Amino acid sequence: MSKKPSKEASRETFTLTDNRSGKSYELPVLKGTMGPDVVDVRKFYADTKCFTFDPGYTSTGSCESKITFIDGEKGVLLYRGYPIDVLAEQSDFTEVCYLLLYGELPSPEQKQKFETGVSFHTMLHEQLNYFFRGFRRDSHPMAVMVGVVGALSAFYHDSTDITDPKHRMVASYRLIAKMPTIAAMAHKYTIGQPFVYPRNDLNYAENFLYMMFSNPCEEFVVNPVLAKALDRILILHADHEQNASTSTVRLAGSSGANPFACIAAGIASLWGPAHGGANEAVLNMLTEIGDVKNIPDFVKRAKDKNDPFRLMGFGHRVYKNFDPRARVLEKTCHEVLDSLGIKDEPLLDIAVELERIALEDDYFISKKLYPNVDFYSGIIFKAMGIPTSLFTVLFAVARTVGWVAQWNEMIEDPSQKIGRPRQMFMGATERKYTPLHKRGRAVSS
């Protein structure tokens, strides 16, 4: 087949010629407000009896969206049109939640009403406390999150009718409000301390730090620098268009599944080290490197095709330039360490040197592998006293608003259908069944 772009007077099309039959097919070219043009292949199979083949969806747009825009070549990330660095500097997490959910920045009254509405849902059903006891104390907190968030559908039946916009919004508020509570409870359960109930007079980040680090025996004062840094990290992780976990949420939701089940599916997808699990993997890697002098060995391993080791926190499917979130985090990382009076953080020294060496290395330059958002977030979390196993949980807390915004958008999209990819089948062709008693003994090699 050969491809050549062609134009009609009224609309642009893409002509695809099947060199086997000589037939040509005109495919409409769609244009977004920004980003590459899109060739509409929705009727491709009906017209040609061929599927398109794109494992990993490197060339496939799966939906229309108005929420988040990324230009990976230029290192641009916009939430509803607003640059991420501007939001990180001037906004706060609940305002960003409102923006992602409703499409516009709130007025002061709208913001106040939204924060009150969300904080109304911060507590968990008391019965869920007992649900936690079913887990081993040494469970990975992401396993607990997947389980508890999935279980919310068993507790909040009054917000699972996905055809009712009010149910959808209540479920969205519940998820945004309850995720920090669940995350902090997962931590308290691991260390054997009593659960701490949320405090609605604190802001989102402050309340999370309070539930994580306070206990009934002592007064606890939230460090404002840490709360500000956490708020910024939450903003930076809030959405990232059609990444693996968001696509998982959309795919799960496309069948009509309830929102709690869909978000549990998203959490499961986020857990992997190629996605949100990378922040935990970065810290483990820096610890394993152990000393600046060992960096060249690890860089060598990362470049070796026969070694599965990769530099965690480097590379991105979309960014072929600096991840704009990593730039903000690098600055935040130094601010947090300074405010805590941490002068010597060996892991930060290793991270800075690793970044320097990798950015000067031909392998990383030619493959456009730059530090991503996970490269610095782990060091900040560590300085805050958050255990490594909780890093990806915090990513999930932040990403919940993106997931629910994308899920709502999908349900409201009139062109939405159940997600159902096809395949190139490479297995056995149809064959005759031989009854068990007629089959010979298998010859083991």
* Binding region for ligand CMC (CB under 6 A): 240, 243, 274-276, 278, 302, 310-317, 367, 369, 372-374
Pick 68 or 119: Cβ nearer ligand CMC:
68
Find the residue with minimal CB distance to ligand CMC.
315
Distances (CA, A) of 286 to 300, 340, 374: 15, 21, 12
CA distance 342 to 356: 22
Compute the least distance from the CB of residue 57 to ligand CMC, in Å.
10
Set 157, 316, 338, 413: catalytic member: 316
Set 92, 239, 323, 374: catalytic member: 374
Compute the least distance from the CB of residue 128 to ligand CMC, in Å.
28
Compute the least distance from the CB of residue 193 to ligand CMC, in Å.
30
- Quick one: which of 248, 288, 287, 242 has its CA closest to 268? 248
Residue 349 annotated as catalytic: no
Compute the least distance from the CB of residue 59 to ligand CMC, in Å.
12
Pick 276 or 402: Cβ nearer ligand CMC:
276
Pick 231 or 241: Cβ nearer ligand CMC:
241
CA distance 345 to 431: 63
Pick 11 or 367: Cβ nearer ligand CMC:
367
Residue 316 annotated as catalytic: yes
Compute the least distance from the CB of residue 303 to ligand CMC, in Å.
7
Pick 12 or 71: Cβ nearer ligand CMC:
71
Compute the least distance from the CB of residue 302 to ligand CMC, in Å.
4
CA distance 124 to 179: 10
Pick 49 or 305: Cβ nearer ligand CMC:
305
Residues annotated catalytic, as ranges: 316, 374
